[in-house]
Amino acid sequence: MQQKIIILDFGSQTTQLIGRRVRELDTFCEILPYNKFPKDDPSVIGVILSGSPYSVHDPEAFRVDLSQFVGKVPVLGICYGAQFISHTLGGKVEKADSREYGRAHLETVDMQNPLFHGFEPHSQVWMSHGDTITAIPADCEVIASTADVKYAAYASTKHPIWAVQFHPEVFHTIQGSLLLKNFVVDICGSTQSWSAASFVDTTVAELKQQLGDDKVILGLSGGVDSSVAAVLLHRAIGNRLTCIFVDHGMLRKNEFRDVMHDYECLGLNVIGVDASAKFFADLAGVTDPEQKRKIIGRDFVEVFNAEAKKIEGAKWLAQGTIYPDRIESLNITGKVIKSHHNVGGLPKEMHLSLCEPLKWLFKDEVRRVGRQLGMPEHLITRHPFPGPGLAVRILGDITPEKVQILQDADDIYIRGLRNYKVCLSGEEARRVLAAGIPATMTDGEIEVSLYDQVWQAGTVLLSTVRSVGVMGDERTYEHPVALRAVTSTDAMTADWAHLPYDFLAKVSNEIINKVKGVNRVCYDISSKPPSTIEWE
């Protein structure tokens, strides 16, 4: 029986980060809405309560019945989770005199408490709350304080309950990973048996049992998720898997040809469909980003459905849906920022059952599984690419001419990122090696490409804007493009990548000189939040 940690989501932006940190400890975890705790599940070895945008005093605040798990398995409350536990069990939570946000240092820490084993004095933590705990329940004791927060952490003397008002999951809490390890491994007793190898073996066996002799259809996108799903399914059922790769005309330059070649080299049974004319016709004159997504999603289903009907006897539709797709789709706040192309797109008239072999994995786990399956590195390290493709990287209406301009500019940018090498050492080098990124070792340093250093990069065509320029002593009036590159762990939050100036200068010069229709290059230095990674 596979052990698991349950993370109850109260709506925090960093709930997925908690999940990522737990998975990094080779421990399976499941993120569930605050009110969906699984009853009578013997595989649950611990529970973590996340932060929340609400105060415990808000009438609409999310609440959970603690008796479902308190006293049965160890519990860790984080931020709102810590305040909710205190408020519910007899402590007191009040509005802070000023919002407690940003870096802080633990002034006192009970390092004998198992939650803080191995901590260093004055360890840096990250606070982010408007309320604060002013009294803890009678059977609890304070185990850490900062200069301004007396109850930075507390523990129960009666039940296995620990609570912290800071966020151990974020990078700025220096020993946050150690705290979570202390809880997950030492307190909850995780055997740390969740790995890429165990996932492949278990999933292949489960797919064989689930699918039997049935035929399966998979929609390929060229990205790492659907590609890994295809190879995993191929290992389980061989040529009973048929893959369909639809070209909507808004892929990167030469991508349809190159990706089809890669899939054939992997031995996959792939049907390639060029439907670009249909997509361009249906997108003509459309400028609203959400409308673009809906048209592309609708047309994709129509094209895919038409091809799928040609495959006799198919009973399953496979998708490369990963865990963040599902968590975002089930956002407990109910607010949609933009529609997701991977979830809920199964047409009822296809009468196919859904198979999602990667539905429990985060993106970097998908890449580790790809390596375990022996896939080529250039497929595994491909940056995320939006389902609607370049349509959401062109501001304004879509035309084949605009797509070609963007393809040419983007090709220069991406090739430049792949060719530019940087040397890393210390913590940066350790982070890159831990992520499995290909690197060359030289005198204690590692050399990697800029492409492998960033999470996602792309070019945006501002086709609704024209700017004045001068080329060959003549006035030009053409479009600007914006280059975008971000660093991230799971795309829930992202920071703009600090690319070298000489690289940006070289790429800018090459784009302006070689791409007709572009006379200005900008670099996007906004982070997520408040911006999204894609412009549309």
Q: Tell me, what DSSP letter sits at residue 484?
A: E
Residue 52 contacts residue 11 (beta carbons within 8 Å) = yes
Instruction: Tell me which H or E stretch contains 16.
Output: helix 15-24
Instruction: Tell me which H or E stretch contains 149.
Output: none
pLDDT at residue 172, as a whole number: 85
Q: Tell me, what DSSP letter sits at residue 37?
A: P
Residue of 29, 30, 79, 479 marked catalytic: 79
- The pTM assigned to this predicted structure is 0.79
pLDDT at residue 423, as a whole number: 85
pLDDT at residue 324, as a whole number: 79
Residue 384 contacts residue 229 (beta carbons within 8 Å) = no
- Tokens 């699984």 locate to 38
Low-confidence residues in the chain, pLDDT < 70? 97-100, 327-350, 427, 430-436, 442-444, 473, 490, 492
Tell me whether residue 427 is one of the annotated catalytic residues.
no
Residue of 29, 87, 140, 169 marked catalytic: 169
**Three state DSSP letters for 251-311:** CCCCHHHHHHHHHHHCCCCEEEEECHHHHHHHHCCCCCHHHHHHHHHHHHHHHHHHHHCCC
Q: What is the CA radius of gyration of the chain?
A: 25
Tell me whether residue 129 is one of the annotated catalytic residues.
no
Residue 93 contacts residue 83 (beta carbons within 8 Å) = yes
Q: Extract the tokens encoding 465.
A: 């804007």
Q: Tell me, what DSSP letter sits at residue 38?
A: P
Q: Extract the tokens encoding 37.
A: 């705790």
Q: From CA 511, how far away is CA 518, in angstroms rounded? A: 7
Residue among 221, 199, 238 at smallest CA distance from 357: 199
Tell me whether residue 423 is one of the annotated catalytic residues.
no
Residue 28 contacts residue 183 (beta carbons within 8 Å) = no
pLDDT tens, position by position, 330-339: 455 544 444 4
Residue of 87, 129, 167, 248 marked catalytic: 167
Residue among 212, 272, 268, 273 at smallest CA distance from 242: 268
